[in-house]
Chain A
């Protein structure tokens, strides 16, 4: 038994040592490559602070992580206090960037906040492919979700009850959807599903169902409705014709060019190819400046 134990121990130790032996060199190589990047573009160090929209949590965190990965000396912190509170902190000078998941109000712009749209959050309204209704007005959509219209025949479709599918409380998509239509806390959901995938699956398998999902999650199993006659597509959203979309704004106090080197660098990163990829990877539409 003792012999067994020593065997295991030595084996374990050997495994350990080979492990450290193999990881160490690879680590140092990544470090050297990074330092070469930094020397070519002057090593950055310092701290960037952001505060604002809870809907932008995913974007902010992904951005902070990616940017800190590229610039080891930089710390990016993000707080999620709500769009208005974020802009307030920006104007008070306590943060470098104020996040808002809406356009800036005139009062905010008047106080010196500059609206830098970094991405657009688009939501598609999906129905079963067999549904003959292809187009809804904003008013009709609102009435459906408030439970005032309950049958597709009222909208020119077949006599089929509407199954109102939504997301769970706390979901960013639900928050955006209700906020844009101004029906916060007024929705009458028949089903509250906890992921985009299940919403798509449910709508695809239920004749009278209607649901909302991030634009990039629409597939062939469901039909994305036109809203006010506008097709749900990235082009239309960028043009501002499709109403079920909202901008993600990273506001700065004064133009970007007036900001510190660090803040300029992070915006440069956002509008670079890597930044576009990052934004698209979390299901948003990148905004070309």
Chain B
């Protein structure tokens, strides 16, 4: 009997023991995740706040002079914050329409054979490591951008040439990177739209396209918004790919400027930073953390609302 511990014929005692052990394992596992989140939060706050008081909140968050190693150091991260916000916003503007329409295509329009090609391709896109996106960006996107830059700023006396490492390159890379997230979640929510809604719409004479845009997408709205919010989270947290294509100089986020995002600001300078400089990098981490938290709170709100609507 001992050799077959999960048998339901086992004695009551062994059953009880295995039940308690299983229960404890579940508790420990659950506690592990909570512990991680709690310790990360505490750690970020402890390490991120000293610089806020040392440098001054206003000067840090709204200063535009980033020269941490100068004799007269400046720790303003305004341009970095703006870059992250604007870069993410444009990546969403480009990525979401493409993603949602791909989702529509996959769930309603595509012939089965074609969907069998597109779907795995999207899934593969999600699995590609971000550094690969960055490398492709360097090799393909940046030279193209440089040609565009040379043509546009041919006669400009003030423009500083960046060799194609600019905000546009970063936005394009981010837009591609959020596609899998947006497509997969949108598609799932579109497929979850009850068949009778579609049937009713078609029955009253609406065309297929009208049905998609007037009935199905509105019905899948909460799922699509979830997809967008998760896309924002992915874009704002991405570091590796954009550190390769964005140029990483701290500038106001104009399309052809070399820019630095919150994530790349930490990654690029952590190696050698010391003292206040290092503490400010932790503060940048805290700002990023705050952004992600806000995004998550919005997400849970949306999901709650969605559930209520479904009831």
Contact = CB atoms under 8 A, between A and B. Distances in A.
Given A192-B268, A194-B267, A194-B269, A170 B277 contact: yes
B164 interface: yes
Interface string A1-32: 11110000000000000000000000000000
B95 interface: no
A194 B243 contact: yes
Nearest to B3: A3
A198 B271 CA distance: 15
A242 to B, nearest CB: 25
Interface string A175-214: 1000000001100111111100010011001111100000
- Most chain B CB atoms below 10 A, which of A54, A191, A198: A191
B140 to A, nearest CB: 11
Contacts of B71: 184-185
Interface in B68-125: 68-72
A96 to B, nearest CB: 23
B163 A209 contact: yes
Contact of B163 (A2, A3, A202): A202
B244 interface: yes
A206 B163 contact: yes
B162 A201 contact: no
A147 B72 CA distance: 21
Interface stretch (A102-110, A129-137, A158-166): A158-166
A161 B150 contact: yes
A2 B10 CA distance: 13
Interface in B240-265: 243-244, 247-250, 258, 260
A172 interface: yes
A2 B150 CA distance: 72
A211 to B, nearest CB: 10
A75 B17 CA distance: 54
B273 A170 contact: yes
B163 A192 contact: no
Contact of A192 (B160, B164, B249, B273): B249
B161 A162 contact: yes
B142 interface: yes
B161 A190 contact: yes
Nearest to B70: A185
Interface in B1-52: 2-3, 5-6, 14, 17-18, 21
A280 interface: no
Contact of B248 (A2, A163, A170, A193): A193
Contacts of A169: 66-69, 269, 273, 277
B143 interface: yes
Interface in B143-159: 143, 146, 150, 153
B248 A192 contact: yes
Interface of B: 2-3, 5-6, 14, 17-18, 21, 66-72, 138-139, 142-143, 146, 150, 153, 160-165, 243-244, 247-250, 258, 260, 267-269, 271-274, 277
28 contacts: A1-B5, A1-B18, A1-B21, A2-B2, A2-B5, A2-B17, A3-B5, A150-B160, A163-B163, A165-B163, A168-B248, A169-B69, A170-B274, A170-B277, A172-B272, A185-B70, A185-B72, A190-B163, A190-B247, A190-B258, A191-B163, A191-B248, A192-B268, A193-B248, A194-B268, A205-B139, A205-B143, A208-B161
Given A163-B163, A170-B277, 15 more contacts: A1-B14, A2-B2, A3-B5, A164-B160, A169-B67, A169-B277, A170-B272, A175-B69, A188-B160, A190-B161, A190-B165, A191-B162, A191-B163, A193-B248, A205-B142
> 4 nearest interchain CB pairs?
A170-B272, A1-B5, A206-B163, A194-B268
Interface of A: 1-4, 54, 147, 150, 161-165, 168-172, 175, 184-185, 188-194, 198, 201-202, 205-209
